[in-house]
Amino acid sequence: MPEALWISFAFVLGLTVKAIGLPPLVGYLAAGFVLSGLSAATDLSIEATDVLEHIAHLGVLLLLFTVGLKLKLRSIISPEVIGGSLLHFGITCAVFTPGLYLLMELTWQTAFLLAIALSFSSTVLAAKVLETKRELRAFHGRVAIGILIMQDLIALVVMSLAAGQTPSQWALIIFGLPLLRPLLFKLLDASGHDELLVLLGLLLALVLGGLGFEAVGLSSELGALVLGAMLANHPRAQELAKSLWSVKEMFLVGFFLQIGIGGLPDGEALLFAAVALLVVPLKGVLFFFLLLAFRLRSRSSFLSALSLTNYSEFGLIVASVALPEWLVPLAITVALSFVVSAPVNRLSHTVYERFSARLAPFESQRRHPDEQPISLGNTRLLVMGMGRTGSAAYDQLAREEPLIKALDSDPAKVEKHQKEGRNVVFGDAEDISFWQGLHMPAVEAVILAMGDIEGKLIAARNLRKKGFTGYIVAHTLYADEAERIREAGADEAYLTMSETGVALASQVLHRDRQAPSPTENAKA
């Protein structure tokens, strides 16, 4: 059974590369190439079947859907995203096209289409790496994902033109999708917390987003991403993402296996891939300077650019439509860029610290609004995270303490709270640069009310690193997480459900003290 070989090789090599500190996806890629080589050297017939291709496609759709769940479209529509992606695409094509034409003696059309395929960066790899490091919501993560979305849209246009097809007239229906948001919110509320929640995610990502968009001539990948983004503002969006995590991870193994099993390359394909790999750093350099031109700091520009320094699986999709004879060389090129990019991105913060002194002088004197240093002034109480728990804590404290401020990493949520009269500003606790620019001279106590455990741990550690000696309190659902939060530096971490029970009991006791007992009522 080919499935037994896929699972065995993927597990062994994934575990091997994890043991040496590399992401398991590098092992999955290697497993695909080993299987391809084994097939060529023996009588075993190992090939990328329709089943594997389908599993790989489902994995990509689920990944993009969960990415969409963590995105706020208003933060993507920005000059650095739109301008950076379009300028990078134009400059890359303008440089690569004549280079490929002259060096490889290709036709102008072939050279241009190859340049387009090589201009894209991998949405799957970048999203996977950023998600692993929990940096999807960091400023540089949002910029990188926004640029990748723009590239995916460009790829969609190119594929449509190359295939001589255009979206059907029914594609205009997608502009009415926002009208479905209230219904989707109600479905999410009604789905509970168990298997129905998982099935809802699969329905939206694979059926409504995937098949639905394909039915009107649009990309299924785009559909999955859009459907996820439509739910991003729902309070349970992150719960939905977590419920799909295992399913998504399993299917994504098929995507990386599929690349390697596609076949062993010949000498010319390897030479092309090697040369393309030597050129890939130029993509990162171009992104770095373009983002600097949009007033990003050198650190954010570097981290965003590094996550985009690779070649894209969308290049393979473009090639399958317009340049099928180049599919194998491009597949090797994409795979090699994954092998190099994944471990380098894992060390991205360390790499930047090493070269920061050389990169910082390139910064503009004017800063992007999202990267301005935050000064809390005379603020005495700080709430980090303005979901339901953080908002309730803020409102309770604001009745007695006027010098209170809150931070949240969602620009849309910040704007909503500001309109409601709360003193809330943008700040991402999971972004290291946020802590470097934070000034909090008068703060006496901090409430950590972020939704995820990693955010609380990062905040507690960095508060203590900054020399904060005041009171830090957090909440969590689980006792083991509470212990980790205390170890990170918090004075106390309360169990949400336990405290809810205590509050309910207090309400009953308070009522009993005020109301007359049944005996007293009888005497009366």
Q: Is residue 413 situated within a structural domain? A: yes
Handedness of CA 261, 262, 263, 265 (dihedral sign): negative
pLDDT digits (tens, 9 = 90+) for 158-217: 766 665 556 677 777 777 888 888 898 898 888 887 788 889 889 988 898 888 888 887
Does residue 341 sit in the same domain as residue 393?
A: no
Q: Is residue 225 situated within a structural domain? A: yes
Does residue 233 sit in the same domain as residue 106?
A: yes
The position carrying tokens 């009604």 is 190
Q: Which of 362, 391, 415 is the last residue of a domain?
A: 362
Dist CA 380 CA 393 (whole Å) = 14
Dist CA 291 CA 180 (whole Å) = 35
Q: Is residue 399 situated within a structural domain? A: yes
Does residue 322 sit in the same domain as residue 408?
A: no
Q: Is 492 helix (H, G, I), strand (E, B) or coil?
A: strand
Does residue 408 sit in the same domain as residue 440?
A: yes
Does residue 387 sit in the same domain as residue 358?
A: no
Dist CA 342 CA 307 (whole Å) = 9
Dist CA 319 CA 216 (whole Å) = 22
Q: Is residue 43 situated within a structural domain? A: no
Q: Is residue 38 situated within a structural domain? A: no
Helix axes 181-190, 195-202, angle to 10 degrees: 150
Does residue 56 sit in the same domain as residue 96?
A: yes
CB 23 within 8 A of CB 132: yes
Count up the domains in the chain and report the number: 2
Q: Which of 339, 362, 385 is the last residue of a domain?
A: 362
CB 233 within 8 A of CB 7: no
Q: What are the tokens at 474?
A: 């957090």
Does residue 399 sit in the same domain as residue 328?
A: no
CA–CA distances in Å: residue 500 to residues 425, 449, 481: 28, 15, 17
**Best CA proximity match to 380, nearest among 450, 440, 449:** 440
Q: Is residue 23 situated within a structural domain? A: no
Q: Which of 331, 362, 393 is the last residue of a domain?
A: 362
Q: Is residue 509 situated within a structural domain? A: yes
Q: Which structural domain range is residue 146 located in?
A: 52-362
For residue 11, give every residue at least 6 positions away whose Cβ sits within 8 Å of its Cβ, in sequence order, or none: none
Does residue 335 sit in the same domain as residue 193?
A: yes
CA–CA distances in Å: residue 276 to residues 112, 152, 323, 375, 412: 15, 21, 17, 45, 40
pLDDT digits (tens, 9 = 90+) for 383-442: 998 888 889 999 999 988 889 999 987 766 788 899 999 999 888 776 666 787 788 888
Does residue 452 sit in the same domain as residue 343?
A: no
The CATH number of the domain holding residue 91 is 1.20.1530.20
Which portions of the chain are predicted below pLDDT 50? none
The CATH number of the domain holding residue 473 is 3.40.50.720
Q: What is the CA radius of gyration of the chain?
A: 26
Q: Is 494 helix (H, G, I), strand (E, B) or coil?
A: strand
44 φ, ψ (degrees, to nearest 5) = -65, 140
Does residue 134 sit in the same domain as residue 273?
A: yes
Q: Is residue 12 situated within a structural domain? A: no
CB 57 within 8 A of CB 219: no
CA–CA distances in Å: residue 476 to residues 113, 226, 493: 51, 31, 7
CB 426 within 8 A of CB 408: yes
Does residue 394 sit in the same domain as residue 326?
A: no
- pTM comes to 0.68
Does residue 277 sit in the same domain as residue 412?
A: no
